[in-house]
Amino acid sequence: MKRTSQTLDHLRQYFTENARQVRVEEVADTVAVGYVRERAGSFSYAVFYGKQSKPAKYYSAKDEAQAEQRIIEALTLAGQVAQRRAEEHKTVRAPYHDRQEDEVTWRSYTVAGTAQLIREALKKAFPGVKFSVTSDSFANGTSVDIAYIDGPSRKQVEQVYAPFISGHYNSQEDMYEYHRQPTTIDESGKLYRMSYGAKYISERRSYSPAYGFFLNSLDLREVPSLAQQFAAFYDWHHRQRHAMQASYGQNKGIHSVTSDSSFGDLERFAEALTAQGHTPTLTNTAEGLELTVAEPLADETDRQFYAAELSWLQSY
């Protein structure tokens, strides 16, 4: 049962009734409290730490001054212990620790600090995707786990977090080898050498039911053409969003799909096309939001180039 302050006061009432509280500056009541009580000419004092219902110290004193002095000593010591623990806790939770060697500052990130760096890097690289980045410490090291739904490919995510891996496992030597990080210079001109706290980083990509339906309509043994992707997207979008008007087609190498609702579907499709190297365009029209992308001409351009080269060589 969670004790409220009122309940705590009630539990302490036997020791604090008709007593005077003694306080020490900068020592909060949540850390320790002390009371002096006089009864029939005799003095006693009680000291409580934290949420104790019974006093940690409950003694008699020869007079009120002695009782007050004993309380001050106990509260002062309790305050010092609480401050030291708070500083230790702050140090443990710090994202990194610095060590100075000559002109170079060695900055060692904790596994939690490394996870935060990865979280920020992923958010910057993929602003529209939600990532769950968690850290863990175990007997043989530390790890960071990245989980997300749909979004970019695992290879794209790996390219973002790869610089934050602290090393690699050497199977031939049966040992973990740490990377030697290069020295960098910050904006103020200071020299830094970074090390990161994640021995292992893994990513887990899962798919939403709708995304899986879309993928299942494609033959992913080969890279699907734009026409196949637009047809599959239209079919999925039309099935999922019954109360909307949509259309798609191709004209002179331009693929397009239009919808009068659920614009987020088109925006996600545009992100996927961008990741493939295409340059999609989203335009607001009278019919709704239109997504267009041009069929790449790289293959035809390459054929024309090599044909010209061959013709030039044959002329000699």
55 closest CA partner among 34, 28, 84, 83: 34
User: Angle at which helices 111-125 and 154-161 pack, to 10 degrees?
Assistant: 130
The sign one gets for the Cα dihedral 225, 229, 230, 235 is positive
User: Which contiguous run of DSSP H or E holds residue 205?
Assistant: strand 200-206
Res. 139 pLDDT band, cuts 50 70 90: confident
pLDDT at 131 over 80: yes
Tokens of 219: 């033959």
Res. 55 pLDDT band, cuts 50 70 90: confident
- Which phi and psi angles does 252 have, rounded to 5°? 55, 45
Q: Write down the pLDDT at residue 301.
A: 47
257 closest CA partner among 245, 239, 243, 274: 245
CA 78 – CA 190 distance, rounded (Å): 40
The domains of the chain, with CATH numbers, are 5-93 (no CATH), 101-206 (no CATH), 209-298 (3.90.1070)
Q: Write down the pLDDT at residue 76.
A: 92
Res. 314 pLDDT band, cuts 50 70 90: very low
The mean pLDDT of 297-303, rounded to a whole number, is: 50
pLDDT at 88 over 80: no
pLDDT at 187 over 80: no
Q: How do residues 217-253 score in pLDDT, each as one tens digit?
A: 666 556 678 888 888 888 877 777 655 677 888 888 8
Sheet with 141-149, strands from edge to edge, namely 131-138, 141-149, 200-206
Res. 293 pLDDT band, cuts 50 70 90: very high
291 closest CA partner among 262, 260, 255: 255
- Higher-confidence residue: 82 or 150? 82
Identify the weakest region by mean pLDDT among 5-14, 74-83, 125-134, 149-158: 5-14
